[in-house]
């Protein structure tokens, strides 16, 4: 199969690990996307690599950072990367010029602030590119529907980057649930980040997105994937907590809880899920707490994704619970050896799928079976997140998610009418 050319859109924490002029103070100081793409090029799956941001003045610092955190750590890693806009330029529309230098069948990987995903993705789709967008793919159901339509018209693969689907514990939980835990009864999910992340994300926190879009999106996607064909979300009620962010001058919630009513498809009985996310957590043994409890009518499962039974303690960094299943940054004999990590596999699966579509051996719709989080199979997640934001803005008003008949694809979100 032919290699693909890849344009990375966004130059921040997830792409390069470079935030505010230095390595991100998180578990991703070397970034994930660029490192993965350079390694995929080394392994002959990717050819040309480009990176596009807004402020070209950041690129000299980004190149130095990537040399220090990738080039110097993993011997022989080629960091060649075309960058947009030019080093002295600032241009929020640089993605239009950058994508114009790529061709149909190439790949766009979008890790930019949530409110920019739609325009950038649509631009790439219209150019015939396959697109992988970080979660949340978009913030509104209406925009999600437009992307799905555009992807179908252009015959390209568009998917959300939701790597928890590839976490062996989460994937096994899904298979156990679908294999015999009956109908959905109840689940709670919690995910947090330490409050210094509010500084990392100050450009958009509370202005164009919130912590629910940022973190609840993970467990909501896992639910949609796990419960596909079993249950569908029909009502969302949201509550928030405040104080920490507002104390830093940011007009946003510290924690958001979405209570989601699910309806089992076979007998119309009800299930309830409670998704809480926070960016006001204290520094801890992990960067991000992440866990859930799931109960079906015939069994239950607990997963603590943050604690994998491995702790590390050093003079420099103190005590930590680590998760090399997500990203294995430690080199083996001087080479990157994290190819089995689900942070990497998430991108590699998408690149492989695009190469299969380009070669004609598969169609984009072949991946609607749950093997990728395609734009056609993830609309419930967007509806839940948007309904949550609508509920918060309407003082806790429950929001109904509507469908055509027994369908699974939401058609609209409406304020719930009390009889
Ligand atoms: N940081 C993480 O751990 C993580 C993990 C998974 C997903 N995400 C998602 O990634 C997205 C943000 O990425 P990040 O965490 O790297 O954030 P970040 O704030 O560190 O970086 C955002 C980047 O987007 C760029 N950008 C903004 N507007 C743009 C435009 N019009 N064209 C091109 N680039 C533009 C900025 O220049 C910056 O490089 C969010 O949607 C978030 O939900 C982040």
Q: pLDDT at position 202, please?
A: 86
- Site to probe by mutation for ligand 1, drawn from 13, 18, 34, 108 as the one with most ligand atoms within 8 Å of Cβ, is 13
Nearest to 383 by CA among 412, 363, 358, 359: 412
Residues with CB under 6 A from ligand 1: 9-15, 19, 28, 52-54, 92, 95, 111-114, 116, 120, 134-135, 201, 203, 214
Comma-separated ranges of CATH 3.40.50.720 domains in the chain: 4-162+336-369
pTM: 0.96
Q: What secondary structure does DSSP assign to 167-222, as a single string?
A: SHHHHHHHHHHHHH--SEEEEEEEEEEETTHHHHTTTTBTTTB-HIIIIIHHHHHH
Please tell me the distance from the alpha carbon of residue 388 to that of residue 139, in angstroms, as a whole number.
11
DSSP string, 279-332: EEEPP-SSSS-EEEEEEETTEEEEEETT--S-EEEETTTEEEE--TTT---S-B
Judge whether 358 and 157 are in contact, CB under 8 Å: no
Q: What CA–CA distances, in Å, run from 170 to 3, 223, 290?
A: 30, 10, 11
Angle between helix axes 33-42 and 342-359 (nearest 10 degrees) is 50
Residues of the chain with CATH 3.30.360.10: 165-327+379-415
Whole-number Å distance, alpha carbon 116 to ligand 1 midpoint, is: 9
Atom of ligand 1 nearest to the CA of 15: 16
Distance from residue 108's CA to the centre of ligand 1 (Å): 14
Structure tokens at 141: 């159901």
Per-residue pLDDT of the chain (419 residues; tens, 9 = 90+): 899 999 999 999 899 999 888 777 666 789 999 999 999 999 999 999 999 999 999 999 999 999 999 999 998 799 999 999 999 999 999 999 999 999 999 999 999 999 999 999 999 999 999 999 999 999 999 999 999 999 999 999 999 999 999 999 999 999 999 999 999 999 999 999 999 888 888 888 889 999 999 999 999 999 999 999 999 999 999 999 999 999 999 999 999 999 999 999 999 999 999 999 999 999 999 999 999 999 999 999 999 999 999 999 999 989 999 999 999 999 999 999 999 999 999 999 999 999 999 999 999 999 999 999 999 999 999 999 999 999 999 999 999 999 999 999 999 999 999 88
Give the pairing type, strands 290-296 and 299-304: antiparallel
What pLDDT shows up at residue 304?
96
Strands 299-304, 311-314: pairing is unpaired
Q: Measure 46 CA to ligand 1 centroid, in angstroms.
A: 22
Q: Give the residue, out of 11, 14, 66, with the most ligand 1 atoms within 8 A of its beta carbon, to mutate for a pocket test.
A: 14
Cβ 305 vs Cβ 170: under 8 Å: yes
Cα(85) to ligand 1 centroid in Å equals 16
Whose CA is closest to atom 40 on ligand 1? Answer: 113
Q: What is the pLDDT of residue 19?
A: 86
Residue 335: CB atoms within 10 Å:
13
Task: Give 4-162+336-369's CATH code, choosing from 3.40.50.2300, 3.40.50.300, 3.40.50.720, 3.90.1170.50.
Answer: 3.40.50.720
CATH for the stretch 165-327+379-415: 3.30.360.10
Q: Residue 359 C-alpha to ligand 1 middle, in angstroms?
A: 31
Q: Is the dihedral of CA 165, 168, 174, 175 positive or negative?
A: positive
Residue of 20, 65, 111 best suited for mutating to test ligand 1, as the one with most atoms within 8 Å of CB:
111
**Which of 113, 114, 165, 166 for a ligand 1 pocket mutation test, highest count of atoms within 8 Å of Cβ?**
113
* Closest ligand 1 atom, residue 94 Cα: 32
405 alpha carbon – ligand 1 mean position (Å): 37
**Which residue has its alpha carbon closest to ligand 1 atom 10?**
111
Q: How much is the pLDDT for 26?
A: 66
- Residue 190: the pLDDT is 98
Q: Rounded to whole angstroms, how far apart are CA atoms 386 and 379?
A: 11
* Rounded Cα distance, 292 and 147, in Å: 30
CA of 298 to the centre of ligand 1 (A): 41
């Amino acid at each position: 199969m032919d290699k693909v050319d890849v344009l990375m859109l966004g130059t921040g924490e997830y792409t390069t690990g470079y935030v505010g002029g230095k390595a991100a103070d998180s578990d991703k100081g070397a970034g994930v996307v660029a490192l993965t793409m350079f390694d995929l090029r080394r392994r002959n799956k990717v050819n040309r690599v480009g990176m596009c941001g807004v402020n070209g003045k950041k690129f000299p610092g980004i190149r130095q950072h990537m040399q220090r955190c990738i080039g110097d750590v993993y011997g022989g890693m080629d960091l060649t990367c075309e960058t947009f806009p030019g080093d002295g330029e600032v241009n929020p529309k640089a993605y239009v010029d950058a994508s114009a230098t790529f061709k149909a069948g190439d790949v766009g990987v979008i890790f930019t602030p949530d409110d920019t995903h739609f325009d950038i993705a649509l631009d790439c789709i219209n150019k015939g590119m396959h697109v992988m967008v970080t979660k949340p793919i978009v913030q509104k159901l209406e925009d999600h529907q437009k992307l799905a339509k555009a992807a179908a018209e252009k015959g390209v693969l568009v998917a959300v980057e939701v790597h928890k689907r590839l976490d062996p514990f989460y994937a096994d939980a899904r298979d156990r649930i679908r294999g015999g835990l009956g109908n959905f009864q109840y689940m709670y999910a919690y995910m947090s980040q330490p409050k210094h992340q509010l500084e990392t994300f100050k450009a958009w926190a509370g202005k164009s997105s919130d912590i629910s879009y940022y973190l609840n999106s993970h467990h909501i996607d896992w639910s949609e994937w796990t419960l596909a064909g079993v249950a569908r979300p029909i009502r969302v009620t949201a509550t928030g907590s405040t104080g920490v962010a507002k104390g830093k001058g940011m007009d946003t919630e510290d924690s958001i809880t979405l209570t989601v009513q699910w309806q089992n498809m076979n007998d119309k009985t009800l299930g309830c899920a409670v998704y809480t996310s926070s960016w006001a957590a204290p520094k801890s043994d992990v960067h991000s707490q992440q866990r859930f409890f799931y109960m079906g009518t015939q069994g239950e499962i607990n997963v603590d994704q943050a604690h994998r039974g491995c702790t590390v303690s050093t003079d420099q960094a103190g005590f930590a619970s680590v998760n090399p299943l997500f990203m294995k940054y430690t080199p083996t004999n001087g080479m990157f050896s994290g190819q089995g990590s689900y942070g990497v596999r998430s991108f590699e699966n998408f690149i492989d799928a695009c190469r299969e579509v380009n070669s004609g051996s598969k169609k984009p719709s072949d991946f609607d079976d749950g093997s990728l989080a395609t734009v056609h199979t993830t609309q419930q997640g967007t509806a839940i997140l948007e309904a949550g934001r609508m509920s918060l803005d309407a003082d806790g008003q429950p929001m109904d998610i509507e469908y055509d008949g027994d369908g699974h694809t939401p058609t609209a979100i409406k304020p719930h009418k009390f009889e």
